[in-house]
Amino acid sequence: MDHFKYRDRELYAEDVPVSKIAAAAGTPAYVYSKATFLDHYTKIAKAFAAVPNVICYSVKANSSLAILAVLNKAGAGFDIVSGGELFRVQKIGAPMNKVVFAGVGKSDEEIAAALKANILMFNVESEAELENIERVAATLKREGDLKEPARVAIRVNPDVDPKTHAYITTGKKDTKFGIDLGRAADLIAAAKKLPNVQIAGIHAHIGSQITEVTPYRESLGKVVDFIRSARTKEAPLQYLNSGGGFGIHYQDQAAPPAEKYAEVIVPMVKNSGCTLLLEPGRFISGNSGILLTKVLYTKRGVDKNFLIVDAGMNDLVRPSLYGSFHEIWPAKSATQPPTRGGSTPDAASVAKVDVVGPICESGDFLAKDRALPKNLGRGDVLAVFSAGAYGFVMAGNYNSRPLLPEVVVDGAKFHVVNKRQSYEELVARETVPEALL
Ligand SMILES: Cc1ncc(COP(=O)(O)O)c(C=O)c1O
């Protein structure tokens, strides 16, 4: 369920017409619905309530401080992948005993900061990283800065095909992620000898936008067998972290509800005797946000027509990067977009266009050959749906375009929680040394 619905020919975010937000915040702009974030979080919390768990929202999907604060208040923990994300969750006062830290390339500084913060655990991706965590922890201990030994989960690579886009496939053996199950036992044996490291669990994140439950069954089957065979007094393996990856609706209604994933995962976790850690990102945030953009120009090409809008690949890179589909529909329209439960508009009222941004790259598009109402023109506001995950967090300044604002709607109110970057801010960290000239 999301709270972006048409009422009386107008798109609303909760109880606010999005055209009102476009007028106040300008375009392009990201708009999030607080109620939708909470609804999606609660769906997961309810579905997995039958086993002890910590739901660590994956900060990388949408790291707005306001959103993190809302989820923190609802009881979520956090999955982080950088010192910057650690800073964010500290900034909102999140309890550190619900924070897990993943990623293949943690720097010494990031490891030290997380150890000082005493996070719940690191998801360790290699032998070299494990040794480095021990080394950093030992240094901190000497300096009197280590509160407790570093808790770690070994991230295993179960070599399972999650049946998703290659760029977001992480659980196959040819990716850079995790350690193959054959070597994981050796790593645990090595870890037992490290005085400042405690083996707390096993982690397996196999990919993102996974819309079938079978890959979880396959992956966790291997993981649970491994846990049962590898568990000892010194390595109690009390946590099973199944990562994130739950899929969402973009174009069709193919993504299963949270209970379907739980039906597979919960019995396996029970069988393992572990506490479950989950790292959902997209499931919570994807359909909790839209991107608002305005039509600048309509343009006739030789073979196709274009709608040139004010949002580019620097604002939402997913279509360019993954060829991903985002429903696009005018904010003022008689119907909901066809793939979001609206009726299919009659063929005479729509025409196929490429929706493209202002950036100087042919890869700068939001949609290709998309049937959109024919009467669209300059100034019309369009909503790009399902943009709450991997949207703003991947935005950049290419073409010296300022970062766009983020707005959170809460019932009949909305708040600009991240202002549009100014041109001065765009160059604020730069200098032109006299000596260069
Ligand atoms: C380790 C890890 N956990 C969780 C996630 C979140 O995935 P999703 O947004 O598909 O739930 C990712 C995404 O890349 C990840 O790498």
pLDDT (0 to 100) of residue 267:
97
Does pLDDT of 147 surpass 80?
Answer: yes
Q: Is residue 74 part of a domain?
A: no
Annotated catalytic residue, options 347, 360, 428, 432: 360
Amino acid at 383: A
pLDDT for 12-63, tens place per residue?
999 999 999 999 999 999 999 999 999 999 999 999 999 999 999 999 999 9
Strands 179-180 and 150-157: parallel
Same domain, 334 and 391: yes
Judgement on whether residues 257 and 131 belong to the same structural domain of the protein = yes
Mean pLDDT, residues 107-116:
98
Residue 253 has pLDDT above 80, yes or no: no
Last residue of a domain, one of 247, 278, 309: 278
Q: Are 248 and 112 within one domain?
A: yes
Q: Are residues 262 and 126 in the same domain?
A: yes
Model pLDDT for residues 169-186, shown as the tens digit of each residue = 777 777 788 889 888 999
For residues 266-288, average pLDDT: 97
Q: Write down the pLDDT at residue 170.
A: 73
Q: How far is the CA of 373 from the centre of ligand 1 (A)?
A: 36
**How remote is the CA of residue 279 from the centroid of ligand 1, in Å?**
6
In a domain, 42, yes or no: no
CATH, residue 253: 3.20.20.10
Q: What is the DSSP letter of 302?
A: S
Would the CB of 125 count as within 6 Å of ligand 1? no
Does any domain span residue 414? Answer: yes
pLDDT score, position 93: 98
Distance from the alpha carbon of residue 127 to the mean position of ligand 1, in angstroms: 22
In a domain, 400, yes or no: yes
Report the largest interatomic distance among the alpha carbons of the chain, rounded to a whole angstrom: 75
Q: Is residue 64 part of a domain?
A: no
* 351 contacts 374 by C-beta, under 8 angstroms: yes
Residue 279 scores a pLDDT above 90:
yes
Ligand 1 contact, 62 CB (< 6 A): no
Is the pLDDT reported for residue 254 higher than 80? no
Domain holding 349: CATH number?
A: 2.40.37.10
Mean pLDDT check: name the lowest of 85-89, 131-135, 186-190, 315-319: 186-190
Show the DSSP H helices in 312-417 as ranges. Answer: 318-322
Structural domain boundaries, residue 306: 4-31+286-426
**Residue 143 half-sphere exposure toward CB, CA atoms < 13 A:** 11
Do 398 and 372 reside in the same domain of the chain?
yes
| Residue ending a domain, choose from 254, 278, 302 | 278
Local structure of 352: helix, strand or coil: strand
| Of 278, 299, 326, the domain-final residue | 278
Same structural domain, 270 and 128: yes
Q: Is 274 a catalytic residue?
A: no
Same domain, 122 and 260: yes
CA-closest residue to ligand 1 atom 5: 244
Q: What is the predicted pLDDT for the residue at 165?
A: 79
Q: Whose CA is nearest to atom 13 of ligand 1?
A: 208
Please give the average per-residue pLDDT across 235-257, as a whole number. 91
Instruction: Name the residue among 203, 204, 205, 208 with its Cα closest to residue 167.
Output: 208
Residues 234, 126 within the same domain: yes
40 Cβ below 6 A of ligand 1: no
265 and 295 fall within a common domain: no
Angle between helices 108-117 and 83-91 (to 10 degrees): 30
Atom of ligand 1 nearest to the CA of 244: 11
Residues 291 and 346 both lie in one domain: yes
Examine the pLDDT at 286 and tell me if it is beyond 80: yes
- Asked if residue 266 is part of any domain, the answer here is yes
The pLDDT value given to residue 141 = 97
Query: Using an 8 Å Cβ cutoff, are 201 and 238 in contact?
Result: yes
* pLDDT exceeds 90 at position 321: yes
Q: Is residue 184 part of a domain?
A: yes
- Across all residues in the chain, what is the average pLDDT? 94
Name the residue of 205, 210, 322, 390 to mutate for ligand 1: max ligand atoms within 8 A of Cβ: 205
Report yes or no on 95 lying in a domain: no
Q: Is the CB of 247 under 6 A from ligand 1?
A: no
426-437 confidence digits (pLDDT tens): 999 999 999 999
pLDDT surpassing 90 at residue 340: no
pTM over 0.85: yes
Which pLDDT score, from 0 to 100, does residue 1 have?
76
Whether residue 290 has pLDDT greater than 90: yes
Total domains, the chain: 2
201 C-alpha to ligand 1 centroid (Å)? 18
